[in-house]
Amino acid sequence: MSTAYRIGDYEFSSREVRDLLVAWAALGLAFTIFFPGGGPNVLALGAGIVVLLGVSLLTAGVAFLLHELAHKVVAVNYGQIAEFRADYNMLFLAVMSALLGFIFAAPGAVHHRGYLNEREHGHIAIAGPVMNLVLAAVFLPVYLGGIGLNLGLLVLLGQLGIIVNLFLAAFNLVPFGPLDGKTVIAWSKPVWGGTFLLSAVLTYIAWTTLDISII
């Protein structure tokens, strides 16, 4: 029988915990390779790889982890049985694509069962992108604090945390395939349009104004 872990009102099976940790670690590794521009550039970092891995786990890894947990929390609050399942083939693809200088990251999904209306489906779907927008706001004072204290590592942590989370919010709101946008737009076009526009504009501003230097 699978061991269950409970945090407040939310239960996690041992398989779910394992899948969440594997997805977090795999995406942290993938973004460690991706951020400098691919395999050869990572090797040029030398011992700096360890530092960048830590930054990647705290930014991209946490961004994906909390995005999926936000889906689960809202689903459970609507009476659903909900669990995250990692897609190991897609995690492998994320690492392999990062070696080539781009990244395709689809770590898995929260699967839930039970009756839901369109509004509830929409709330569950938009919870992930909203979590990423909140996380981007959390990383903003980290970035500003790093500048104020003249701490390059803190600046980098803030920069990557802001950009990755804004990008994930915008990307997941694209109304295509299994992405969250398709479900959100079916529930409310105004909510989808406002959230997607905000995410896309902020992503563009962050990408063009934050001067990131990895190596």
| Catalytic residue set | 68
- SS3 track for 121-148: HHHHHHHHHHHHHHHHHHHHHHHHHHHH
For residue 37, the 8-state DSSP code is T
Contacts of 106 (CB under 8 A, 6+ apart): 87, 90, 94, 178
Burial class (CB in 10 A: 0-12, 13-18, 19+), 109: middle
End-to-end CA distance of the chain: 48
**For residue 65, what is the enclosing H or E element?**
helix 62-77
Report the half-sphere exposure of 90 (CA within 13 A, side-chain side). 12
